[in-house]
Structure 1
Amino acid sequence: MAAELDELGYGTIWLGGNPSPDEAGLLLDATPRITIATGILSIWDHEAPYVAERHTALNAAHDGRFLLGLGVSHSALAGERYRRPYTAMKEYLTALDSAPTPVPTSERVLAALGPKMLELSRDRAAGAHPYLVTPEHTSEARDILGKDAVLAPELKVVLDTDQARARDVARGYLGRYLALPNYTNNFRRLGFEDSDFVDGGSDRLLSAMYAFGDAEAIRARVDEFLTAGADHVAIQVVTADPMKDIPREQWRTLAQALPLDKG
């Protein structure tokens, strides 16, 4: 799959699910061109010196194609370790800086939603990789990051012109995120209310967090993010059974419609 995404011209594969550098290495081995990024690696589960060592080794072996995406994850996933996440991220970045093989600022990005983490992304990383956001959030993030930092928001898409069916698919997947306060708090900052978080999300919330329709409709939504200040949009295709389905046909369709840099 990674090799095909490379051939199709996508610029980066973002690995979800708290991947290790070694998992990224498997995809680097399988591809000649595409960037492989952790999107994101949880700072609670991977020791900084080891991450730094593997980062250096992978980039040396693969022409600098590994991008280290870091995040503080969620209290529900990290458990009792989840304390003072902003401070913990700063300490983790310091550990990467002081490792025997340091990770350069230009080769790491942070999962950032709120202003403080976005500022940290600007000051101590190459930029930010926000998840579950809108073009409005992207515009605000660009203002905080400034013009030079990388801004790579994620966008969920359902490639289906049947709006009712597409919303059912979207609602079934979004529901798992509505139990995580980091996301619901950010939704509130964007103007949503508790009533939007019931039963997998309101239609209003789904329309904000997803792109629905054919390839042209998806392209139009991607363009909204680019116009708002994104440098790169990470597309996550959601299907009726996202834990089993491999959306290869959808990736192929979107590759023809999206503004991919195939150089």
Structure 2
Amino acid sequence: MRRGVVSLGVAGSLGPDAIARIAPAVEQAGFHTLWVNDTPDGDALAALAAAARVTDRLRLATGVVPVDRRPAAEIADAAASLGLPLDRVTIGIGSGTAKQGALARVRAAAETLHRAGLPRVLVGALGPKMRRTAVESAEGVLLNWVPPIEAREQSAALRALVPSTHVAVYVRTAIDDAARDRLEAETARYASFPNYAANFERMGVDATDTTIRDVAELAPALEAYTAAADEVVLRAIVPDDTVTAYVDFARRVAPDRM
């Protein structure tokens, strides 16, 4: 059975300097890709440029840039000006918070990025229409807040549409008891959003079912997720946002150790 690769996700709000100190440990631990969330207080593209300068083979991805806040042309210009290594970079995009015209906005953004020479685009997608748009307009989809069985079913449906599509799944992960409160708060926050609450209800799961909550759950959860998707992104939830905490997380969940 083909199994998915394992990647690591962090927040852009850490800043380029901190991410440049974390990235070599992520590469050394054997992760496939370092994913960096783009947030209003954290530029994922600048962070990836910093990570690229201190790594050789680690793949780099944004997860995701909302194109209603950062238009695709702006993303393409930033990627070019920062000199991102396109052979290692995936641009993850999302529709953002503006609901009207979301599908068309994502299609147009993917087309703009491709025309600008960015060869690999993934789309963060929650509902079935956006997932279909993702695999038809881009190189794949980034699933979020889904349990393994749902990831497997969604992956199968998407590959039936486009066999070559890449399916990644983002999984919030805490392995330290001291990080549990932060994971609980993150889970509750997303469960309070109407679109996510409706999605959890459709799947028939609680939001907590889509997370890894301690180190004892890690190995069986990874086995299930890597059997379901092409790439599993462990979004690190650590006790505090220090370089030491993220480096420790990377070393403890290194793919070679699982």
Correspondence for 2:19 = none
TM-superposed CA distance for 1:56, in Å, is 5.3
* TM-superposition CA deviations, 1:163-209 (whole Å, max 9, x none): xx7754431221222232332222122114xxxxxxxxxxx531x12
Amino acid at match of 2:248: E
Correspondence for 1:70 = 93
Distance 1:173 1:15 in 2: 17
Q: Which protein is bigger by CA-based radius of gyration?
A: 1
Correspondence for 1:24 = 48
Matched-pair contact (CA < 8 Å) for 2:174–2:238: yes
Correspondence for 1:200 = none
State the SS of the aligned residue for 1:88.
helix
Matched-pair contact (CA < 8 Å) for 2:111–2:137: no
Q: Number of residues paired by the alignment?
A: 231
Distance 2:244 2:97 in 1: 26
Correspondence for 2:7 = none
Match of 2:168 among 139, 147, 152: 152
State the SS of the aligned residue for 2:144.
coil
Match of 2:194 among 178, 181, 195: 181
- For the aligned residue pairs, the C-alpha RMSD in angstroms reads 2.7
TM-superposed CA distance for 1:37, in Å, is 0.2
Distance 1:55 1:138 in 2: 30
Match of 1:84 among 101, 112, 116: 101
Match of 2:127 among 99, 114, 136: 114
Distance 1:94 1:256 in 2: 34
Amino acid at match of 1:225: Y
TM-superposed CA distance for 1:62, in Å, is 2.7
Matched-pair contact (CA < 8 Å) for 2:68–2:97: no
Correspondence for 2:34 = 13
TM-superposed CA distance for 1:251, in Å, is 1.7
Correspondence for 2:15 = none
Matched-pair contact (CA < 8 Å) for 2:239–2:245: no
- Relative to total residues, which structure has the larger strand share, 1 or 2? 2
Distance 1:129 1:49 in 2: 21
Structure-1-length-normalised TM-score: 0.77
Amino acid at match of 2:75: V
Distance 2:255 2:226 in 1: 18
Distance 1:169 1:57 in 2: 35
In structure 1, runs of 5+ residues without a counterpart are: 76-81, 193-203
Amino acid at match of 1:205: A
State the SS of the aligned residue for 2:171.
strand
* TM-superposition CA deviations, 1:207-248 (whole Å, max 9, x none): x1212333x6302101101222x1110002223445898332
Amino acid at match of 1:156: R
TM-superposed CA distance for 1:256, in Å, is 5.8
Match of 1:103 among 114, 118, 122: 118
Distance 2:189 2:242 in 1: 13
Correspondence for 1:52 = 76
State the SS of the aligned residue for 2:90.
strand
Matched-pair contact (CA < 8 Å) for 1:158–1:213: yes
In structure 2, runs of 5+ residues without a counterpart are: 1-21
Structure-2-length-normalised TM-score: 0.78
Matched-pair contact (CA < 8 Å) for 2:38–2:44: no
Distance 1:37 1:140 in 2: 24
